Structure 1
Amino acid sequence: MPPLSQVQPKQPASRITSAAQAIEVAQQLAQEFRSGAARRDRDRELPVAPLRALFASGLGAITVPKEYGGADVSTAVLTQVIAIISEADAAIGQVPQNHFYALEVLRLNGSPAQQQRLYQEVLAGVHLGNALAEFSSAAAHHRSTSITPEGDGWQLNGQKFYATGALFADRIPTAARGSDGKEQLVFVPRHHPGVTVTDDWSGFGQRTTGSGTVLFTGVSVDAADSIPFQSAFERPTRLGPFAQILHAAIEQGIARAAFNDMLNFINTRARPWPDAGVEHAGQDPLTIDRVGQLAPRLQAGDALLADAAEAVDAARHQANETTVAAASIAVATVKAWTTERALEASNLLFELSGTRSALREHNLDRHWRNARTHTLHDPVRWKYPVIGNYVLNGVLPPRRGTL
């Protein structure tokens, strides 16, 4: 058998031991990330150093169970962390989403030996990327990438796209279909022979997420690095809503960033509307009205995130068809809400601040571009019919990573 793969982090990580510490560290990092966010987006400067700082801070290990040395924070705390980082820089906020998703698969389906080894790596600062989506598959949840027996071990072959975070990661959890037709999640070392990560992501928003292509060509895989994946959806688990609530938190962060930058721009740079009869744009009654409409909607997003997080954790502690369905619907609801609020806030920024806000020196149009790009991730047009069918007819939602 090939030797067990061991991955070392780029730099050692601190240890976070409580929810309060996690929030405090996130806020401190957000202050650092915010100052360079406009420049990084404008120049497509990949956030290599900020992401190293994030995983060295210990934030990457806050969902590791306590019995393995982690803080095991609630989903409510995790969504707050993601929203805080995303408000500072939405691209950086999106990258850890797949990291925490892979850790949840490990918690649900990993063997005790796999959990012990991989959790210790993460506690040490290892960053998990992802390689899930494929262009060649017939549907978003279908995979053609394969893991097959080869000699004393296994071999991985396939091509992935939209592999957010893989470019920066230490391991790349990869969805692959085994010879039995069942999907596995393979925790592939990033720099293993046969692994090629190409920085070819060219989206006009979320420009620095590193969401490019990953090619696996005859990659030797340790059996101990492969974890059952498909079975997490064949039985009731919270995996789907857990994944999706983190996307909702990213969008809530984008909405807050657009709203706060809009307020700052109006108060410092914007001119009042013609014939408004005021000296300052912030005194214009129409501007006050539009701001007043959006502010409580953003607060509602925080409340919906908290409610959905509670449902997601209820589905962890008592996983059955009823609790998992309730979590999926609660998360679909908040994801639909944050989608609309992120777009509304970034649209309102243009409406009230004018096109000057998009000048190179300000680059505030990045909020609209980020919102428009990220809200197409598992779009809400998939969610409204599921919510309606559940409310109207009591039909339970399907169990998958997009709900």
Structure 2
Amino acid sequence: MSVNPPVVELSTGADYEALAARFRPIFARIAEGELERERSRSLPYEPIRWLKEAGFGAVRVPVAHGGAGASLPQLFRLLIELAEADANLPQALRGHFAFVEDRLNAAPSPERDRWLARFVAGELVGNAWTEVGDVKIGEVITKVSQQDGKWVVNGRKFYSTGSIFADWIDVFARREDTGEDVIAAVSTHQTGVVQFDDWNGFGQKTTGSGASVFNNAVVEPDNILPFSSRFKYQTALYQLVLLAVLAGISRAAARDAAEAVRGRTRIFSHGNAPLVRHDVQIQQVVGQLHALAFAAEATAVAAAEPAQRAYEARFAGDAEAERQANIDAELASAKGQLVVADLALRASTDLFNALGASAAVADRLLDRHWRNARTVATHNPLVYKAKVIGDWAINGTEPPYVWQIGGSPAAETPAKTA
């Protein structure tokens, strides 16, 4: 069924090389400090500030609103380049780009224009969706309510990735008055928001993925958005950011292997050349690493193309075309996850085949590539993504667009003994 679509300025693409040239010097500065941040577990406040000031958070905003007008595949190409410099940063910005995408999908309004202006001004958005504690699946403990004539948010979240760097937090909550699930866009510049750097994973250590506590945090009425209006391909987009991270890790692993081999002076007596960089077997290993990185990047960028179609279909006035584009976006991100996770884990392991035992010295931190890839690949279990793809291919079952994690009701039933 076709309807008259609203007139909306779309972000359909920019000159990628010109766009990337704006940020590559910043990416290079970020890469210079990556090892020290990893070694000392220092959060990247300064690199985030560099990106904010350069307008990185507004690359998806239409040109008519002051942004760069980049397409989604172009955004993910940029995130891959950033992830090669520091894999933590694209994940720290994951919530921001998802919220930007939601506002891009919103109908034209003064409220939408205000958000686009905030993005162009450099303001960043974090996210806080995951409940902590004894929460059953489907329950939402974080609440939005009215107190003394103001709307406030109360609750505690974990995995609030990037929120510690942000000006706003995209909070998944439930209205106490109606029971409706909503997104509350809460300003971090208030005493009612307290954030913690208590993420203790073995990888992606500086993404700022800790807890956020909301204690009567004020939220403006215009910033309480029905979750049902959220853009359809959101889960795909969240996953695409992680694919970009994995592709960037693959590139970094291939880069570090080549650099280490190039400078290596110690050889094995049973090697094939007087210098390791001339050893054909080592050249083969490094060549394979670069091929893995190439395939990971190509897959991640290709997986983003259906999401761009879904975005454009949102305003084309053809409901069936939009539905199919959203299905394609979800399936493409799932297929990409299955492939890119494997490529990144292989690249981050195989780089050691080009080097000696000295590559395992802790100070060199070459293990960070595997630790980061393993951590990212653990998001959204691969087996369930494969199942979604297979169910569509066999039965035409539409993939789920939203899913949750929480305590199982079955866990409350004592196990029967024989």
TM-score where L is the length of structure 2: 0.85
Deviation at 1:292, TM superposition (A): 3.7
> Cα 1:142–1:261, aligned 2, differ >3 Å: closer, same or farther?
farther
> Cα 1:168–1:398, aligned 2, differ >3 Å: closer, same or farther?
same
1:13 maps to what in 2? none
Contact 1:105 1:229 in 2 (8 A): no
| Aligned: 1:215 with 2:213 | yes
1:291 maps to what in 2? 286
Deviation at 1:109, TM superposition (A): 4.0
Q: Kindly provide the amino acid, as one letter, of the partner of residue 73 in structure 1.
A: A
1:185 maps to what in 2? 183
Mapped to 2, the partners of 1:274 and 1:142 lie a distance apart of 63
Q: Kindly provide the amino acid, as one letter, of the partner of residue 221 in structure 1.
A: V
Mapped to 2, the partners of 1:144 and 1:358 lie a distance apart of 45
1:329 maps to what in 2? 331
Q: Kindly provide the amino acid, as one letter, of the partner of residue 195 in structure 2.
A: V
The higher radius of gyration belongs to 2
Mapped to 2, the partners of 1:134 and 1:266 lie a distance apart of 46
| Residue correspondence of structure 1 range 363-374 to structure 2 within 5 A | 363-374=365-376
Deviations 1:266-309 (A, max 9, x none): 22127444512422233444433433434333222222223222
Secondary structure (helix, strand or coil) at the match of 1:342 reads helix
Q: Give the fraction of aligned pairs with identical amino acids, expressed as a percent.
A: 32
Deviation at 1:354, TM superposition (A): 3.7
2:364 maps to what in 1? 362
2:407 maps to what in 1? none
> Cα 1:283–1:18, aligned 2, differ >3 Å: closer, same or farther?
closer
Q: Mind listing any 5+ residue stretches in structure 1 that lack a counterpart?
A: 1-15
Q: CA-atom RMSD, angstroms?
A: 2.2
Mapped to 2, the partners of 1:123 and 1:201 lie a distance apart of 30
1:5 maps to what in 2? none
> Cα 1:280–1:381, aligned 2, differ >3 Å: closer, same or farther?
farther
Contact 1:19 1:71 in 2 (8 A): no
Aligned length: 383
| Residue correspondence of structure 1 range 262-273 to structure 2 within 5 A | 262-269=257-264, 271-273=266-268
Deviation at 1:381, TM superposition (A): 2.3
Deviation at 1:90, TM superposition (A): 0.7
* Among candidates 352, 355, 359, match of residue 354 of structure 2: 352
1:310 maps to what in 2? 305
Secondary structure (helix, strand or coil) at the match of 1:206 reads coil
| Aligned: 1:261 with 2:256 | yes
Contact 2:154 2:214 in 1 (8 A): yes
Deviations 1:230-271 (A, max 9, x none): 3326xxx22221222111111100111011101111221274
Deviation at 1:214, TM superposition (A): 0.4
Deviation at 1:401, TM superposition (A): 6.8
Deviations 1:24-55 (A, max 9, x none): 12312111111110111011111111110011
Deviations 1:119-143 (A, max 9, x none): 211111111111112223334x753
Deviation at 1:216, TM superposition (A): 0.6
Q: Kindly provide the amino acid, as one letter, of the partner of residue 50 in structure 1.
A: P
Mapped to 2, the partners of 1:299 and 1:62 lie a distance apart of 24
Secondary structure (helix, strand or coil) at the match of 1:167 reads helix
Secondary structure (helix, strand or coil) at the match of 2:352 reads helix
Q: Mind listing any 5+ residue stretches in structure 2 that lack a counterpart?
A: 1-12, 315-321, 405-418
Contact 2:285 2:353 in 1 (8 A): no
| Aligned: 1:30 with 2:27 | yes
Secondary structure (helix, strand or coil) at the match of 2:336 reads helix
1:8 maps to what in 2? none
> Cα 1:245–1:394, aligned 2, differ >3 Å: closer, same or farther?
same
| Residue correspondence of structure 1 range 1-400 to structure 2 within 5 A | 19-109=16-106, 112-136=109-133, 137-139=135-137, 143-179=140-176, 180-232=178-230, 237-269=232-264, 271-319=266-314, 320-400=322-402
Q: Which range moves more in the overlay, 148-157 or 45-54?
A: 148-157
Mapped to 1, the partners of 2:270 and 2:370 lie a distance apart of 29
Q: Which range moves more in the overlay, 71-80 or 390-399?
A: 390-399
Deviations 1:41-76 (A, max 9, x none): 011111111110011100111112334322221011
Mapped to 1, the partners of 2:362 and 2:353 lie a distance apart of 18
Mapped to 2, the partners of 1:344 and 1:108 lie a distance apart of 37
2:3 maps to what in 1? none
